[in-house]
Structure 1
């Protein structure tokens, strides 16, 4: 059995420039509950997994990773699957009222999903999506759907 079939993703970690500014964004605008806070690091409880923030300077200093800035830098997209397309429109209104700036209004995309996109404070991309009638396209494993 492959690694990805044995182990669920438990955390998504955003490498950030300013942990305090990122904490404010995720706590105050998106409503995540701060769970742990340490030097250069914070994590939040949320539905389904842990969202963590790690300051670039801190991770570089402690791990020796030096490819976290500029071209080829580590990037992340955080996707949230909502239960119905109407939820996309509701989130667009709710988060827009909190100051989230979207790349555009809710739209239906060729992969059969209604989506909205926005960026967090460290240019991490967020995608909120809901499958349209017929569900996802391109399933490789028919048993998995």
Structure 2
């Protein structure tokens, strides 16, 4: 089954200069509720899919993705698809690489407890495929009611 039919887009991630400033905007101005917070990263669960914020310097330091900043009024985003397992990340990486999709590097396990791989479309829009490692996501802020 083709990638887009098997794996729904689960997250939209905006690459930001200052995650604290961005969190304040999304919480104070737009009413999002903070769900998860980790160094250089935050996400919110709202209606629909997950909105995430990731500091450009942090993603670049850990993944090899470019740290070049776009000038003001240029759109910046990272679309993400959560896969069911780390093995699925590896399999989809092989599948898409075989089709000529340009990845930054092979899948890796990252400090935020996920196996991830990053690729770009022909216009350099960034995509992430990921799956949580054993223990799930780190940085949960919102705990389920008992």
TM-score, scaled relative to structure 1: 0.52
Instruction: Give how far 1:71 is off.
Output: 1.2
C-alpha distance in structure 1 between counterparts of 2:91 and 2:117, whole Å: 11
Q: Show the counterpart of 2:130.
A: 129
1:6 Cα deviation after fit: 5.9
Distance 2:32 2:93 in 1: 35
1:134–1:3 distance in 2 versus 1, CA, 3 Å = closer
Residue ranges of structure 1 left out of the alignment (5+ in a row): 10-69
Length, aligned pairs only: 84
For each residue in 1:96-118, what CA deviation from the matched residue of structure 2 results, as whole angstroms up to 9, or x when unmatched? 00001110011000000000001
**Counterpart check, 1:142 vs 2:143:** yes
TM-aligned CA deviation for residue 86 of structure 1: 0.1
Give the structure 1 partner of residue 48 of structure 2. Answer: 8
When normalised by structure 2's length, the TM-score is: 0.52
Please name the residue that 1:95 is paired with. Answer: 96
**Aligned residue runs from structure 1 range 1-145, under 5 A:** 2=31, 7-9=47-49, 71-72=71-72, 73-143=74-144
| Higher relative contact order, structure no. (Cα contacts within 8 Å, ≥ 6 residues apart) | 2
Moved beyond 4 Å, runs of 4+: 2-6
Q: Deviation at 1:134?
A: 0.0
List runs of 5+ in structure 2 lacking aligned partners: 1-30, 34-44, 50-69
C-alpha distance after superposition, 1:69-119 (max 9, x if no partner): x61311121000001000011001100000011100110000000000011
User: Cα RMSD (Å) of the superposition?
Assistant: 2.2
Q: Secondary structure at the match of 2:87?
A: helix
Quote the Cα distance in structure 2 between the aligned partners of 1:8 and 1:114.
Answer: 23
